Structure formats: C-alpha cells, structure tokens
Structure 1
Amino acid sequence: MASFVQKLIGISVFASMPFGDALAAEFAIQGLSKPLEKNLEYYLMPLAEVRADSLSVSQLSKLVKSALNPYGYYHSQLSVRRGENDLIMLDVDAGEVMLVAKSNVVVSGEANNDQDFIELVNQAQLKQGQPLLHSEYDTLKRNLISLAQQKGYLDGHFIESSLEVMPSLNQANVNLHFSSGSRYQFGDLSVPISGIEPARIEAIRTFKWGDDFDTLKLSQYQSDLYGTGWFRRVIVKADFEEISNSQEVPIEVLAEPNSRNIVQVGGGYSTDLGLRASLNWTKPWYNARGHSFEAQAYASKPEQSLLLGYKIPTQNVLTDYYGIQFESKHVDYRDTSSFFNDLLFEKHWQLDSDWQSTMHVRYLQENYRQASENNESQLLLPGVTFSLLDRKNDQLEVNHRHVYSLEYSDPNFFSDSRLLRIEGNSVLSWDISEKHKFHFRSNVGINVADTLSDIPSSLRFFAGGDGNLRGYGYESISPRDENGDLTGARYMFTAGLEYQYQVYRQLWLGAFYDVGDAFNDNVDWKSGTGLSLIWNSKYVPVKVDFAYGLDAPQGDQFRVHFSLGTQF
C-alpha cells in the first residue's frame, strides 16, 4: 500500500533547547483510508511538543485505537518503526469493521406517524448489517430532539438511549426510544402597537390559531414582516413560559417601525450612458393601512426621468397590491429626441410560489423626433405582465429572471393607432462549480402595427450596447432612412452566451458571444464576441467587456463596455 508522510510536528525550538537535545517527533502514517488517516492525525496533534524518544508503543497504540473506534474499528494493529531525524513510522492495520447486529430505533407518541420523523430514522445509517459509526448514533439523537422542538413536540424525551459495543463478537446493538408526547399548537398572537394597523400585521402571518406549532412558520412570518418595509427590526418569538394547559403556544411580535422617510442617493457609470445619478425618496408606510409612496429622479447625459409611485396593499401585502405610477422622461440620443408622460394603473398578484402577474392600463402621451419624423402620439394601453425573479444567496447575482408582457391599443379606445406589443426578456445563470459559471440572456420584442409611424419612438426597438449586443454602440442598430438616420424597429431579437472562470477570489474572467438585430422586414444578423473582466465586489460589482463586433463597420469593431452594478 502506498505510503505518504504527513508532518504534524517537526519544529525545532533551538532558542529554548540546548544543542543536541532530542527533537519533537515527525510521523509517517500508512495503511489507512483517508478519513481514518485524518482522524488519526487529529489525535496525534497533542504530541506536537513531545520529544520523540519519550513516546512509547503502548501510548501510540492507545491513540490509534481512540482514533479508529468511532469508525467501528476495534481490532486495529499497530507497528511502530523509528527512522532517522526522529521520524516515527506508524504502520496501521485497521482490522475488520464492527457491524450493527441489532437496531432498535423507535419513535412513540403523536410523532409516530409524522413523515418527517419516519424519514429521519430511515435515513440514519444505523440499520442491521451496516458498519458502526458513532457519529451516526450521536447525530440521530441530536436530530430527533431538534426536529421535536421545531415541530412542537415540546415534551419529547428519550426513554432509552444506549449503544452496546461488543468487541469480542465484533458487533454492536443500537437502542433508541424517543417519546414525542403530544404536539403543541399555535396560541394567541400578540402584535405591537405601531404606526401600522394590527389587522395588517396579523393578515401576513403564516399560521392560524390552533395550527400545529412549527418554528419554520415563525421564521417565515418574521421574514415576511421584514419584507414589507414597515419595520426596521422584527422578532417573532414563541413564549414558552406562558403555555396554557391546552398546550397552546402564545406568539409575540416585537417590531421597531421603520423611518417614515428614507432618502437614498446613488450613482454609477457605464460606457453606454456615461455618468448616471439617482435620488430616491421612499415612505415605507404612508398611513396605518400600510400604503407606501416612492419618488425617484434619474439623470444621465442621454436620459432624465422622474417617477412617482403609490402602492396600496391588499390582503397579501407582499405579493398582492394595487399600484399607481407616473413617469415623465426625456431622451436625447443619436437620432432620437423624445419627451413622454406615462400614467399607469396596475394590479399585482401572485400566481404561484414563483410567478407574479400584473394587469395594467397605462396612458402614454409622447412628443418625439425620430430621424426625420416629427410626431405626437397618445395611446391607451391595457396589458398583462408575467414575471419571475430568483436571486442567489448573496443577492448580487441572479439565478434566473423572466419578464413577459403583452399590450394592446385601439383607435376606438382613446388611442391614435392600433398596436399589439409583445416583449420577453430572460436571464439564466448556472453555477457549474465554485470556479465555473455559465450565463444566457435573450431579449425579444414585437410591435404589430399598420405602419412604423403608428409606433411612438419610446416603443420602437433598438439593439446594441452592453445590455444586449456587445461590440456595437448603445442602441446603434435599427433600420435607417434615406439619410442614414436610425428610425427604430418593429422587431428585435438578441441573445448572448457567456462563460466565466474564477481567477482569484472575487476576480473572474469571461468569454462571450452575442447575436441579434433590430429590424422591420428582413433580419440582418449581427454578432459580437470578446472577453470580460469581472470583479464581484461585495458592494458594487464591476464589469469590463472587451468586445469585437464581427459585423460592425470597418474601423469601429472594437469597443470597451464598462459597467458598475448587479450582473446577471
């Protein structure tokens, strides 16, 4: 069997030892599997400052047995050889592993038919004929107690718990009898006196009075309360000291209201939009019914906007609500000059655990110049949106995001033109391993109208830039008129693939390929490729794309896209 040397000791302390004194021992271990070897190394660590010539074979043999017994090896044999430079070679024969002869694991009481307890017992590696692992026995005991506390079996205890080891027979017997007692229920809920109506706080709870007690539901309730934005701090706790004879656990909510006004200032930079700044004013709870208000101002060289929003929660505060939103925006970039006002009325609700739906009606009034076309448009656009957003644990990256929407306007309903508009955007991210990631994104846009003039500038499609087609200027791709000016397009499709590799800690290197076009009748696919450098900072991710437009005009193929903010 191959041997290897693991230095545990070997540091000579010449400053404190006379020259010629014996040195601390070094050990070479052979004959053991990796887990057994690692555990033996751990047991040998206390000998770090013991002289090699003071270690006896019996002392080392006891350490070996102590290291191997928890893995079911009770008949190990040790051969010790001493080499030069105080090297001690340990040749270990683990012997035959001890097997479980009898396994008597019983759960009595109301938890006897609880599926979680049944699965916990079945998953334990303590069945008859399996190798004995002391850690499995200890883990099962801890997990039974923990699961009982989580699910409200508050009187649960062990009637019997023993592990009988018989080295002479190389067998072990496992005896565990856990009595769960009866399951407790949720009792009265006590909510704090704050600026929010108590009924609103109670409506969010994940349990009802009389439901079976479960600490996971308490944790979810606490998370949901914090997610409303109404509170700066929230604690939801079970008051075990006030449990009644009816075995009902009172629940208390401790909460500190959030500030009535929150102001945030932000900024960033990208090669597409240049410097950008934002000012956000939020009232997380405008009144006792939990209504909220938000005002957002945004400015960059090509775009400036002001957005006002008012949110009216319904029964399910987190996912179901009405919204009123007004946005005024000015755009002056390339061959586009546009000023529009957009008034939106919407209703949000949760479809299932993942997807959210929005029904809306918006009124869009726009004055614009697109290429040589000057026009004014007003549209009443009812529509529906389906969306999903799943973030990774660190919240800086997205696992996947999907947004699909449909809108329609008609001249018979306060609109200048008939328009059917469909949009779809998807982003997916796969962590292949700790050092490898793969990303995919796609953007689809469809405008169905009689003529391009029936579509206001803000609803036309443009491609190009770090958001969809790298290697090309921001929104530089669309059909052009006879003067060579961009007119915007009826349709758009772009897709991108990117592979990223972790070079060092937060520093990643990527390679990408994008393809797409914005077009009216005939598609002319354009593609770009290149390398990315990403710094996944804890606070503000930074990304630089060195892109080459494979179909870009001569002399304009190479571009650098720089951005600060959340990646995929």
Structure 2
Amino acid sequence: MRAVSNSCRARLLPAALVALALGHGVAAHGQEIAPPQPDANDDLAPIDPDQDLAPLPDLEIDWPELDQDPPPLATLSDEAMASDAAARQAEADAARAANPGAVADLGDSSDETIDEVDLTLDTRQQEDDAFLGEAGIERPYSVRVVGIDDSESEGIAVNRRFGELSQLDARDGDPALVAQINRRSEADAELLYRLLKIDGFYDALVAYDFVPDITAQRVEVVFTVTPGERYPLSDVNLAGLDAAADGDSAKFRADFPLAVGDPADQDDVVAGREELSTALQENGYPFASVDDPALTIDHEAISGVLAMPVTPGGKRNFGQIVVEGGKPFDARHTQLIARFEPGDLYKASDIEDLRRAIIATSLVSQVTIDPVDSGDGKSVDVAVKMIPAPPRTIAGEIGYGTGEGFRAEVSWEHRNFFPPEGLVRARAVAGTREQLGHIVYRRNNFLRRDQVLTAQALASNQQFDAYDARTALISGVLERKTTLIFQKKWSWSLGGEVVYTAERPSPNAVNPPPRTTYYIAALPGSLYYDGSDDLLDPKTGFRLGGRLSPEFSLASNNVGYARVQLDGSYYRPVNDKVVLAARVRLGTIAGAATADIAPSRRNYAGGGGSVRGYGYQAIGPRDAFNDPIGGRGLIELSGEARIRLDMFGGNFGVVPFVDAGNVYDSQFPDFSGLRLGAGVGIRYYTNFGPIRVDVGTPLNPRQGDPRVAVYVSLGQAF
C-alpha cells in the first residue's frame, strides 16, 4: 500500500463517535479524536455522501469536536516507505535470481542493481499515477476490506452492515471518475470507523488505497482495518431500579443482558434498554420508563461505563375495562374478548393481544388502548377507544370452472346486525349448473373468545354430471375457528343439520331415472391440529384433521351410516426458496350400500382441491353414460415443490405438482386404479397470501376427461 501518494490519496482517519450507520446510538463522553477536515488545497470536492445515516430517535448523541487535528501521518508514512523499500528489495532479489547476467553486466554492484530495479518501480508508479490521473475517464472498480475477521461475530456484523450501507458497494460494477471513487471511499472509511465503534472498537484505524489494474482497466479500493482492542464495560449503573417491588429489582438486574466485562457494544446497549423496558411492562409496571443510555468511554483505562436511569413507576394489576362511547360493542363484550381478568398482573402483551382481537372483529377501523391509574395505587383500568368501521358489505363475483360451468354470485352482509358481533349474510347464486339462495346468522366470540355460533338456511338446485339435486337445508354449528390473525393449533366444530333433498344420478342420460326423496338428519363434527407456520402459505410443519358425521336417511330404504374423512399434510423447506409439500386424504362411508346413500352425500374426487388435471367430481365409478356416480371409499395423494423466484421482486413462484386419487364403490379404498394428474402452477405472493393458478393434465385419462384443466384460487392448494 502506498500510504502517501498524489495519485493514490491514501487516507488514515480516526473513528467517529456514534453508530449513525445503524440509525441508533448512545450518548458518549470522554476524549475522542474526530475525523479530519478536508484539506483546503485538495482538488477534490468535499464529501457529499449519497446515503444519510440517521440516529435512532430519543437517543442523545454527543458529537465529537470536528476542529481537532487528526493524528499525524508521519509514522504511517515512514512505515509505508519502509514497506515500499522492502518490496523493492524483494523485487531486486527476484530479478537477480531470474537474470544473473544482468547483475554481472552492472559489475555485480548491489547498489547499481537496486538502482535499476528502483527505476522500474518508479516507471510503474508513474504509469499508475497516469492511469488514475486521466481526466474525464470513468473506471470500473471493486471493493475489498482487509483486517476484519469474518469468523468473529462482530466481524460478520461489520461486514454485513458495511455491504448494506457502503456508497461504493451500492454502485459496485458501475464505472466512475477517480474523483468520485475517492469521495465515496472517504465516506466509506468514516462508515467503517463508526461501525467498528458500534461493536466496541474505540481505537480503530482505517486506511484506504487505490490499486490500479492497468491491464483490466479497473481500480480496486482496498480498506485496511486495524480494529485495536475491544473496550469492555467497567460498570453498569441502573440507577432507580431499586424502587421496584421487593424481589423484582434483583431479578431485573440479574436478567439484564449486560454486565461488567461485556464488550461496550452499542447494539447491545440499545437491545438491553429495550429488553429491560419490556421486562418491566410484562411484570406489572405499566408506567415504567427507561431513560436514554449514556456510555462514557475512558481511553486511558480502555473501558466504558454504562449509565441507564430507570423509573419503575409502581407495580399494578388489571382493573376494569372502560369503553368510551360503547360502540361498536360495550365493555362487557370487550372483557369477553380479553385474555386477562380484573386482578391479574398487568402485562403489556395482553394489551396488544386485545388490540389485535378487536381489529379482528372487522367492526373497528382504529382502536386505542391505554392503562389508566384507577386511584387505589394497586391497579390500572384499561381505557379503550374504538372508531367503528363500516358494518355493511355488498360483493359480487363471476366465474367459470370445468365441470361447474358459468357462475355468478352476489352477497350482502351486516357484521353487527344483532350486537354484539351478530352477523347476517344473504347470498344468491345463478349459474348454468347451480342456483342457490342462502341466509346465514353468525355470532362471533359467542360465550367465549374465538368461539363461533352459526345458523343457516339454504335452498338450491344443482345439476352436475354426477347428480341432479333439489335441496333445502337447515343447520347449526358451534366451532372454535382458526383465523389469519390468530392461527390456532387446535380447532373443532360440532353441529347438527336437517336436509330435504330430491335427487337422481345420471342426469345426462337419455332417460334419466326418477328422483328419489331423502330426509336426512346428521350430527357432523370435526377436529383439526395445525402445526404449520402459516395458514395460507405454510413452509414448515404438518397438519392433521378428521371429520365424522353420523347420519340417518329416510328414503325408500331407511338407513343409518357414518361418513368419515381423515386429512394430513406435511411441509419441509429445502432452502429459503424451495418448500416440498405432500398431502393425503382417506375417506369412507360405513353402514350402508352406495345405492342407499343420496348422491350428494357420497364421496367424489377430481378438481382444483382434489386431483388436478381432472374435472370436478370426475374420478371414480361411472354409469353407462360415462357420468360419475360417486362411491364410499376415497383416497387422494398430492406432492408439489413450491419454488420462489428471484425475478420480479421475488413475488412470483412456480409449483410443479403430481396428484393421484380414486373413489371406490367398496367401503374402504383398495388403492387400485389410481388416476394420475400432473402440471405446473404459478404463484403471486401478496401480503395476505399467495394467489395461485394451476394448470394440470391427466396422465392416465379415461374417455371424457379433459386434456387440460385450469384452477384459480387464493392460498396454496393445501
């Protein structure tokens, strides 16, 4: 490295005082050496960084005095010149070994040999200077940092942050004028100093140099870092913490992440402040405050002193919930939603949970929740202020599906028709294969949080390839549901329904059979376990679930039977871009022959949520007219690779998949005659879940199966 050179312009600057690069810092005191001011005779423009580095709000910063002189360069210059002389001597020795005759021609004079080599080096220096000094010529460049050990945690952090914030790295590969490279290098040198200070290296030295590659017409900017000794903390002062309740003060001190002897790392100081504040708020101190930390650096002692004043503010329990205005629901219902009771120890996380639960009702657009002193010195009331959201929604959709035909739907709902949270929804469907009228009453958070009561009445006319059904249904169900906001491990449902339906199989026959009238009573129930990490886009974990519906049917033959279905899925990430997913479904109807079960209550397979590539309900036994008739035994298998792409901002992915399945007239599936489908899907990832488009084709089709089937939906296939 040429530390002193007109063309290379090496710089040696002391570290700045605080961590501007991270957007936070701590107040510091003690003698520091400030970054040098630009030389008034420098022909380069002053430093004008393109990327500002802002401090974290609420943390005071004592700026270093900028009028102090930098450390003299004489020592470095001597070292550089000594290093240069050594390099020249080494090159002379190499030249002598490679060409002894040249030395002999010079009279075997070592001085003359060195002079000859020096002439070569001087010529090379002149070439480098000329290369770097060409006016108006832009040069591509690269960046290298020497002296930071990537194997150490602090070295990894410095390099990562430098790569994120470096002005040189931000334009790496783009040609620039040497003057521009120099200005960016000066800014990046100061950035490196500050990053090293963040990690506790308060005596760090950084120099940079330009290494031209005339052959490649490139410039390499080399930063040489001498971190120095990492300063430890000699004292940690949490003044005021003793005002906490008996026993709490010692616990908070013991749990505080910084202690004497730990590095004076500014990241750790900021994290420690947040951790202490959270611990106070989670253990009954709603009015606690932790002041801005002050870090005093002693260069002579090579240590730092941390002072962080604390005001606990008194230990409290929860009091009463008070709702301002009482809309869209009152304090009693708000208390039902809360996960805490009056008298419980105050926890800030319970307040945040209540806020999210109120937003999840869809009845509130904004909510503010504050602890308020109840006046008894022992508890705090919870003041809730809600701004109601529009309660009504009108929606419509038009679509087409293979096997389902054209379909238009319109719906109206009022989410608080019967307060609190009593929803009423009316829905109508008009299509080529289905006509439907549907009304629903739903009470969310019924009797307890996350418990839903639903009652519905429905009348429909369905004309599918498998059956033709005119149906009226009344049902009610009580369930514990999982949602996008609160994904639950366990969910369940238990209900009852009464069905009148007039149906016939093989509706496409030349002479379709007469309709059979069925009166059905059922008690459906379900239990599911969700061990995945996301409801709409799982990447790891598994899911297990089962459905059981004992039913009694009055028709030409009065029969009782049980419908059973088991589902399982598994998700395994290969890396951060690829997830492997698999699914299995087994179903059976026990207790009755297929012919005695209403066609709409039988098992079917095929379609977007089943075996892709086949039509809706198209897999399984067929009649003489090649129409599906359903069955009792069911099996479905699916496997796919969910591959996220880097292009288009990382919002798209591709999903190759293979599905298999079949339906059997027998009670249990025998795994024979599996229908195979394969294809590829496109995923567009949004902030609420992926939108999927799957295109599949049957691999062993039968007569009447489509060549290609397309499916569009929200969320992954399973």
TM more than 0.5: yes
The equivalent position to 2:417 in structure 1, one of 283, 286, 300, is 286
Q: Does 1:515 align with 2:660?
A: yes
SS in 2 for 1:137: helix
Q: Does 1:378 align with 2:509?
A: no
User: d(CA) in 1 for partners of 2:462 and 2:704?
Assistant: 28
The equivalent position to 1:36 in structure 2, one of 158, 165, 168, is 158
The equivalent position to 1:190 in structure 2, one of 313, 316, 322, is 322
Question: What amino acid does structure 1 have at the position aligned with 2:616?
Answer: Y
The aligned counterpart of 1:457 is 599
SS in 1 for 2:275: helix
The aligned counterpart of 2:365 is 233
Instruction: Please give the per-residue CA displacement for 1:33-86, whole angstroms capped at 9, x wherever unaligned.
Output: 45435666899869x99969999x999998765542332334445556565699
Q: Does 1:357 align with 2:492?
A: yes
The aligned counterpart of 2:92 is none
Q: Which is further off, 336-345 or 209-218? A: 209-218
Question: What amino acid does structure 2 have at the position aligned with 1:511?
Answer: P
Show structure 2 runs of 5+ residues with no match.
2-43, 46-133, 150-155, 169-175, 213-217, 507-511
The 1:549/1:160 distance shift into structure 2, 3 A limit, reads closer
The equivalent position to 1:141 in structure 2, one of 270, 273, 284, is 273
Q: Does the 8 A contact of 2:615 with 2:709 survive in 1? A: no
Q: Does the 8 A contact of 1:465 with 1:561 survive in 2? A: no
Question: What amino acid does structure 1 have at the position aligned with 2:351?
Answer: L
Question: What amino acid does structure 1 have at the position aligned with 2:642?
Answer: Q
The equivalent position to 1:549 in structure 2, one of 693, 698, 710, is 698
Instruction: Please give the per-residue CA displacement for 1:251-288, whole angstroms capped at 9, x wherever unaligned.
Output: 22222445454322233444453443322221212234
Q: Does 1:466 align with 2:466?
A: no
| CA shift for structure 1 position 180 | 3.0
User: d(CA) in 1 for partners of 2:427 and 2:329?
Assistant: 24
Question: What amino acid does structure 2 have at the position aligned with 1:442?
Answer: V
The equivalent position to 1:500 in structure 2, one of 642, 649, 654, is 642
Q: Does the 8 A contact of 1:103 with 1:173 survive in 2? A: yes
The equivalent position to 2:198 in structure 1, one of 65, 70, 87, is 70
Q: Does the 8 A contact of 1:348 with 1:359 survive in 2? A: yes
SS in 2 for 1:182: coil
| CA shift for structure 1 position 166 | 4.6
The 1:247/1:456 distance shift into structure 2, 3 A limit, reads same
The aligned counterpart of 1:7 is none
The 1:414/1:319 distance shift into structure 2, 3 A limit, reads farther
- Cα root mean square deviation, aligned: 4.5
SS in 1 for 2:559: coil
The 1:509/1:414 distance shift into structure 2, 3 A limit, reads same
| CA shift for structure 1 position 498 | 0.9
| CA shift for structure 1 position 311 | 2.7
Report sequence identity in percent.
17
Question: 1:94-133 maps to which residues of 2 (within 5 A)?
Answer: 94-100=227-233, 108=242, 109-110=244-245, 112-113=247-248, 117=252, 121=256, 124=257, 126-127=258-259, 130-133=262-265
Question: What amino acid does structure 2 have at the position aligned with 1:193?
Answer: G
| CA shift for structure 1 position 558 | 3.6
SS in 1 for 2:342: coil
The equivalent position to 1:217 in structure 2, one of 350, 356, 359, is 350
SS in 1 for 2:269: helix
| CA shift for structure 1 position 470 | 1.8
User: d(CA) in 2 for partners of 1:115 and 1:483?
Assistant: 82
The 1:40/1:479 distance shift into structure 2, 3 A limit, reads closer
User: d(CA) in 1 for partners of 2:605 and 2:676?
Assistant: 11
The aligned counterpart of 1:253 is 384
Q: Does the 8 A contact of 2:537 with 2:689 survive in 1? A: no
Q: Does the 8 A contact of 2:317 with 2:346 survive in 1? A: yes
User: d(CA) in 1 for partners of 2:594 and 2:586?
Assistant: 18
Show structure 1 runs of 5+ residues with no match.
2-11, 14-18
User: d(CA) in 1 for partners of 2:315 and 2:195?
Assistant: 41
SS in 1 for 2:621: coil
Q: Does the 8 A contact of 2:544 with 2:569 survive in 1? A: yes
The 1:539/1:196 distance shift into structure 2, 3 A limit, reads closer
User: d(CA) in 1 for partners of 2:575 and 2:548?
Assistant: 37
User: d(CA) in 1 for partners of 2:189 and 2:391?
Assistant: 69
Q: Which has the higher strand share?
A: 1
| CA shift for structure 1 position 485 | 4.0
User: d(CA) in 2 for partners of 1:134 and 1:421?
Assistant: 63
Scaled by the length of structure 2, the TM-score of the pair is 0.64
User: d(CA) in 1 for partners of 2:411 and 2:186?
Assistant: 73
The 1:288/1:299 distance shift into structure 2, 3 A limit, reads same
SS in 2 for 1:292: strand
Q: Does 1:443 align with 2:565?
A: no
Q: Does 1:207 align with 2:304?
A: no
Question: What amino acid does structure 1 have at the position aligned with 2:470?
Answer: F
SS in 1 for 2:271: helix
SS in 1 for 2:350: helix
| CA shift for structure 1 position 246 | 1.6
User: d(CA) in 2 for partners of 1:337 and 1:115?
Assistant: 74
Q: Does the 8 A contact of 1:270 with 1:563 survive in 2? A: no
Instruction: Please give the per-residue CA displacement for 1:126-152, whole angstroms capped at 9, x wherever unaligned.
Output: 455554422212321233234434654
The 1:115/1:265 distance shift into structure 2, 3 A limit, reads farther
Q: Does the 8 A contact of 2:532 with 2:571 survive in 1? A: no
The aligned counterpart of 2:72 is none
The aligned counterpart of 2:396 is 265
| CA shift for structure 1 position 325 | 1.5
User: d(CA) in 1 for partners of 2:326 and 2:250?
Assistant: 39
Question: 1:7-18 maps to which residues of 2 (within 5 A)?
Answer: none
SS in 2 for 1:278: strand
User: d(CA) in 1 for partners of 2:178 and 2:403?
Assistant: 66
Tell me which structure has the larger Cα radius of gyration. 2
The 1:558/1:116 distance shift into structure 2, 3 A limit, reads farther
User: d(CA) in 2 for partners of 1:525 and 1:335?
Assistant: 19
SS in 2 for 1:212: coil
| CA shift for structure 1 position 96 | 3.9
Question: What amino acid does structure 2 have at the position aligned with 1:36?
Answer: V
Scaled by the length of structure 1, the TM-score of the pair is 0.79
Question: What amino acid does structure 2 have at the position aligned with 1:144?
Answer: L
SS in 2 for 1:285: strand
User: d(CA) in 2 for partners of 1:411 and 1:297?
Assistant: 28
Instruction: Please give the per-residue CA displacement for 1:187-211, whole angstroms capped at 9, x wherever unaligned.
Output: 3322233464553333323333333
Q: Which is further off, 538-547 or 57-66? A: 57-66
Q: Which is further off, 298-307 or 162-171? A: 162-171
| CA shift for structure 1 position 392 | 6.9
Q: Does the 8 A contact of 2:359 with 2:367 survive in 1? A: no
Q: Which has the higher helix share?
A: 2
Q: Which is further off, 174-183 or 354-363? A: 174-183
Q: Does the 8 A contact of 1:500 with 1:509 survive in 2? A: yes
User: d(CA) in 2 for partners of 1:53 and 1:360?
Assistant: 72
Count of residue pairs the alignment pairs up: 546
User: d(CA) in 1 for partners of 2:188 and 2:458?
Assistant: 78
Question: What amino acid does structure 1 have at the position aligned with 2:714?
Answer: G
Q: Does the 8 A contact of 2:528 with 2:545 survive in 1? A: yes
| CA shift for structure 1 position 417 | 1.4
Q: Does the 8 A contact of 1:461 with 1:478 survive in 2? A: no
Q: Does the 8 A contact of 1:509 with 1:532 survive in 2? A: yes
